Amino acid sequence: MPKDFSAFERAINISFNEAELLCQAFTHRSYLNEHRGEVQGHNERLEFLGDAVLELVITHFLYKQFPEKPEGELTAYRAALVNATTCAEVANDIGMNEYLLLSRGEAKDTGRARGVLLANALEALVGAIYIDQGYEAAERFIKERLAPKLDDILKQRLWQDPKSALQEKAQEEEGVTPSYAVLKEEGPDHDKQFTVGVYLREELLAEGIGRSKQEAEAAAAKAALGARGW
């Protein structure tokens, strides 16, 4: 086995019966190309399984936690809890980054690309726990590690898209609907970059940059929420 996972098992308080299964959860497809025969397989099938287990556990958790909330709101909460950003945060929290088995090329990825790899590995880990330890162990792991993220999600309204959140707060606090305007457009047609400003009446609250107007508007709305302390 290419790495010793015993410290990681202690950190998550789970001792795997099948060590190879845990190793597989950390193995990216690219690693196999450079290390043939070293590991049994990559983590994509485990990720597929873990995604379903994760969604079921979180759905049940939210159903019990919020008996009065409508289906649409619960769906938004769930999406915020199981998305790549939250899953990557949890993976980092439990130290998964140092155990990832990647090709030399993939190992150079940082930022959003590394976040996606971590999120996928977390789902694969959930799948591995489910196979090796059973549903209750997987449920316990998810509730301990992922469910606590809900407090911040609700507090920061991360379950809403930034534009909806800004509109709601602007109408609530100041009785006005935000408006958006393109301030700058740069680059060739195939690689445009837009700078968008968001306004309350005549006041420029914030600016955002993106590869599309929609992306730049969302970035501006997010910045405006921060600027206003909303």
Specify whether 123 is catalytic.
yes
Q: Residue 185 corresponds to which tokens in the numbers above?
A: 């457009």
**SS3 call for 178:** coil
Catalytic residue among 47, 123, 139, 217: 123
Tell me the residue type at 222: K
Joined together, the tokens standing for residue 193 give 């970059």
Tell me if residue 51 is catalytic: yes
Token pair for 199:
């306004």
Q: Whole-angstrom Cα distance, residue 26 to residue 42?
A: 8
Q: Which of 4, 34, 51, 73 is catalytic?
A: 51
Question: What is the C-alpha to C-alpha distance for residues 157 and 169, in angstroms, rounded to an integer?
Answer: 10
The residues, ordered by sequence, that sit 6+ positions from 204 with a Cβ below 8 Å of its Cβ are 197, 198
Residues labelled as active-site residues: 51, 123
